[in-house]
A and B are shown apart, each in its own frame.
Chain A
Amino acid sequence: MNVEISDLTRRFGRTRAVDGVSLQAGAGVFGLLGPNGAGKTTLLRMMATVIPPSSGRLRLLGRDPGSYGPRREIRRRVGYLPQNLGYYPGFTVAEFVEYFALLKDLPPRRVPRAVAAAVEQVGLDGKARSRLRTLSGGMLRRAGIAQAIVNQPELLLLDEPTAGLDPEQRVQFRALLRWLGETATVIVSTHLVEDVGAACSEVALMDAGEIVFRGTPDELTARGEGSGAAGDAPLERGYSAVLSAARS
């Protein structure tokens, strides 16, 4: 298992953003669904080693991120796209991705090829020399994804990766996710249930800091059948049904 979480909690003052979450994930694309404030981003940030948990056990890629050495090793093998993508507007797409390749300790000989591959995978090879300040929101998002995958991560954490992408780009991105999921653990936090339905082999639904559902997209769809829950698509109805049940 690349991700092993048990009873993980993260508090901000008196607020429990993540409350006793347990989760295991191996290779494949894992969807993390939930409404705003459910704790998805906080959970991803803990898995990305940006913030430490308040309590509980977290093992990533078979290592404990609480210690310096293993944490560095984990960070070499993790890719992370935060929800709010900060960027350096003066950098070109290629420079931005190269910068993160270097921060991720990629061997210098491999950097140019890895950068070119990452930029191509997100469909920005025609914009590689464009400065980030000239890109649209969707292109920036793809540049963010490129930096996340430049080190061919074993654990890829994507927070709202399809926000700002047009439908064609989202279709291409889901294909990329499926391809990446063949060898790595990809955890995708999203509001968009259709992304989960199209790309994820497994899904967890969070609400109020807890995981209230864990299963396949089909199982989530099944929860909505005959429930009368709101939603335009079967998966949406399953999502609504699970949330209603958790809150009742």
Chain B
Amino acid sequence: MSVMSMRLPRSARALRLEFKRNAVPYVLPLLAAVFFFDTLRTADGFAPIWTLRASAIGDHMLFEFSAFAGGLAAWAGSREGRRKTVDLVAPTPRAAWARRSTALAGTLCWMLLAFLAGVAVLYIQTAVQATWGGPPLWPVFVGAFGVIVVTVIGFTCGVLFPGRFTAPLVAIGVLVVYQTGLRQALGVATSSGTYALLSPGNGPPVVDTGVYYHVAPDLSIVQVMFMGGIAVALFGVLGLAPGLRGLAPARAALARSGGWLLRTVAVVLVACGVAASWTAFALAGTAKPDAVGGWEIPALHSAASDQTVPVTRDCTSSSGFQVCVHPAFRFYLHDLAAAFEPVAAEIAGLPGTPAGAREVASVSGGQDVQSGTSVSPPVFEFTAEHVGAMFGQFNGIPDPAGWASGFQQGLLDAFLTGRPPHAGPVPILLGPAQQAVEDALLTAVRSQPLGPSVTSAGVSAAAHRFAALSASARHAWLVAHLTALRAGAITLAQIP
């Protein structure tokens, strides 16, 4: 024994033993492999936006860690029953609760260390790629509390139902609960769907979440409160466990007959935990969508969360067409400018041609923002919705051509309809003549127009005719007919 360990207090020494002989290290390689193939690769498929990448903590990482945490904690909790050491440990002065708390702490320490190591890897990966912002902490808190609550649930199951099958059953149970979703587990219907927000996994947010506006911590607070409450209540149940189990065998009668202080503390913990969880549940019921795509809980909401994040956009104008994006999206600025450039050249000099393109928030006033051309000066305002197509390598969906044509189509849609940017429902599609001209212009810049399956034969034929014209002929026709084209007054037959 080292000099250091000789100086440790009793609880720390016991924790050191539990930590040293815990089962968690044996499954860490497997957990690391699952983390790499699921969480890390999935996150790598997201754009390097902090909030977006951090969503992998709740949606993927917690799912994997919880199954392991629940099973391993149940294994540790059932140890005395499985190993038949009850007669050995019962006649020791250390209270069963203290003994179990140490074993629980050993498992919890390992799982939290593993979890935080995983978060560190995820965040380092993001830090290397991200161009703006910093690591969000609330997803880490929510994830950590998710690991804690599942560990305590597993451990309690192990204590109450000691057996070699308890651990796998708990792990499977956790997987099933996550698979079916906490939404179903909570028994919520569409009418009370906001309660389902208590589930730490809610799917990836929109790509620019936390970029133009702050992410309100309201939901994270109630999630932490809900899970923390359950953990505290179950920890209290562990304190009462000798009495609960003793309802059947007389063995625990001695344990029941004394230690009123411990039992009082346990009862208080159960009461506090239930109260916290119930309060969180009630608060979740008051949640409503906020103006920037998140959730607002009135009792917890701070108006400061609704303020826009002050920022200066990054711009490039190598060909005279200025393209500006939020610094968080700087990584695709030059690719974006390269995508806009040929289309901007095709329509340059035409009435209402935008002088540049500017990225704006994808949500405003609680509604999706639709791209369009602002009037004075004419600037194409777009959102980062297509940015996701640049990534997703793990899912096999990287589509550079589709990504570029998405922005080009957006620019042409706005130009050919003269539509201003607005927040609201998706605008009406282009008319047949507008679609034919757009397809022709995209073909002219060697981009991918909509396929024949989604455009009619007439549109396709007109597009081919128009694309076959020389650039100057197309330009001249557009100068003459652009106003009528925007007004929907041109037919397919009128397109040269």
Q: A residues within 8 Å of B by Cβ? A: 45, 48-52, 65-69, 71-73, 75-76, 78, 80, 82, 84-91, 95, 98-100, 102-105, 107-109, 111-112, 144, 147
Given known A86-B83, A112-B1, contact A105–B93 (CB-CB < 8 A): yes
User: Which of B6, B83, B85, B94 sits near A102, CB closer than 8 Å?
Assistant: B94
B251 within 8 A of A: yes
Nearest A residue (CB) for B87: A82
Chain B residues 89-147 with CB under 8 Å of chain A are 89-94, 99
8 smallest CB-CB distances across A and B, nearest first, come from A68-B258, A86-B85, A86-B84, A103-B92, A82-B87, A75-B93, A48-B91, A103-B94
User: Which of A75, A84, A90, A103 sits near B21, CB closer than 8 Å?
Assistant: A90
User: Which of A50, A67, A72 sits near B93, CB closer than 8 Å?
Assistant: A72
What A residues does B250 contact at CB under 8 A?
A: 51-52
Could you show 22 A-B contacts with beta carbons less than 8 Å apart? Answer: A50-B91, A51-B250, A51-B253, A65-B254, A67-B257, A68-B258, A71-B254, A75-B91, A75-B92, A80-B87, A80-B88, A84-B84, A87-B88, A90-B23, A95-B17, A98-B17, A99-B17, A102-B13, A103-B14, A103-B93, A103-B94, A105-B94
CB distance from A63 to the nearest CB of B (A): 12
What B residues does A90 contact at CB under 8 A?
A: 21, 23
B446 within 8 A of A: no
CB distance from A208 to the nearest CB of B (A): 21
Given known A84-B87, A99-B17, contact A112–B93 (CB-CB < 8 A): no
Nearest B residue (CB) for A106: B10
What B residues does A105 contact at CB under 8 A?
A: 10, 92-94
> Is the beta-carbon distance between A98 and B13 smaller than 8 angstroms?
yes
User: Which of A51, A72, A73, A103 sits near B89, CB closer than 8 Å?
Assistant: A103
What A residues does B13 contact at CB under 8 A?
A: 98, 102, 108, 111
> Is the beta-carbon distance between A108 and B258 smaller than 8 angstroms?
no
> Is the beta-carbon distance between B83 and A51 smaller than 8 angstroms?
no
Give complex CA distance A51, B246 in Å: 11
Chain B 11-45 interface mask (CB, 8 Å, partner A; 1/0): 00110010011010000000000000000000000
Among A66, A73, A100, A103, which residue has the most Cβ atoms of chain B within 10 A? A103
What A residues does B259 contact at CB under 8 A?
A: 68
> Is the beta-carbon distance between B88 and A147 smaller than 8 angstroms?
yes
Give complex CA distance A135, B7 in Å: 30
CB distance from A146 to the nearest CB of B (A): 12
B79 within 8 A of A: yes
Q: B residues within 8 Å of A by Cβ? A: 1, 5-10, 13-14, 17, 20-21, 23, 79-80, 83-94, 99, 250-251, 253-254, 257-260
Give complex CA distance A147, B91 in Å: 12
> Is the beta-carbon distance between B87 and A99 smaller than 8 angstroms?
no
What B residues does A91 contact at CB under 8 A?
A: 17, 21
What A residues does B89 contact at CB under 8 A?
A: 100, 103
Nearest B residue (CB) for A94: B1
User: Which of B84, B87, B92, B260 sits near A100, CB closer than 8 Å?
Assistant: B92
**Pair count A-B, CB < 8 A:** 110
What B residues does A51 contact at CB under 8 A?
A: 250-251, 253-254
CB distance from B218 to the nearest CB of A (A): 44
What B residues does A84 contact at CB under 8 A?
A: 84, 87
CB distance from A70 to the nearest CB of B (A): 9
CB distance from A160 to the nearest CB of B (A): 13
Give complex CA distance A66, B91 in Å: 13
Nearest A residue (CB) for B91: A48
> Is the beta-carbon distance between A108 and B251 smaller than 8 angstroms?
no
User: Which of A66, A71, A108 sits near B10, CB closer than 8 Å?
Assistant: A108
Give complex CA distance A111, B10 in Å: 9
What B residues does A102 contact at CB under 8 A?
A: 10, 13-14, 17, 94
CB distance from A172 to the nearest CB of B (A): 23
User: Which of B5, B80, B87, B257 sits near A50, CB closer than 8 Å?
Assistant: B87
Given known A66-B257, A112-B1, contact A104–B93 (CB-CB < 8 A): yes
User: Which of B6, B79, B86 sits near A109, CB closer than 8 Å?
Assistant: B6
> Is the beta-carbon distance between A100 and B88 smaller than 8 angstroms?
yes
What A residues does B79 contact at CB under 8 A?
A: 88
> Is the beta-carbon distance between A80 and B254 smaller than 8 angstroms?
no
Give complex CA distance A60, B473 in Å: 110
What B residues does A66 contact at CB under 8 A?
A: 254, 257
> Is the beta-carbon distance between A88 and B91 smaller than 8 angstroms?
no
CB distance from A186 to the nearest CB of B (A): 16
CB distance from B307 to the nearest CB of A (A): 54
> Is the beta-carbon distance between B17 and A50 smaller than 8 angstroms?
no
Give complex CA distance A116, B406 in Å: 74
Give complex CA distance A205, B356 in Å: 103
> Is the beta-carbon distance between A88 and B93 smaller than 8 angstroms?
no
> Is the beta-carbon distance between A45 and B21 smaller than 8 angstroms?
no
> Is the beta-carbon distance between A87 and B85 smaller than 8 angstroms?
yes
What B residues does A147 contact at CB under 8 A?
A: 88
> Is the beta-carbon distance between A76 and B257 smaller than 8 angstroms?
no
> Is the beta-carbon distance between B86 and A86 smaller than 8 angstroms?
yes
What B residues does A48 contact at CB under 8 A?
A: 87, 90-91
Given known A68-B257, A71-B258, contact A78–B88 (CB-CB < 8 A): no
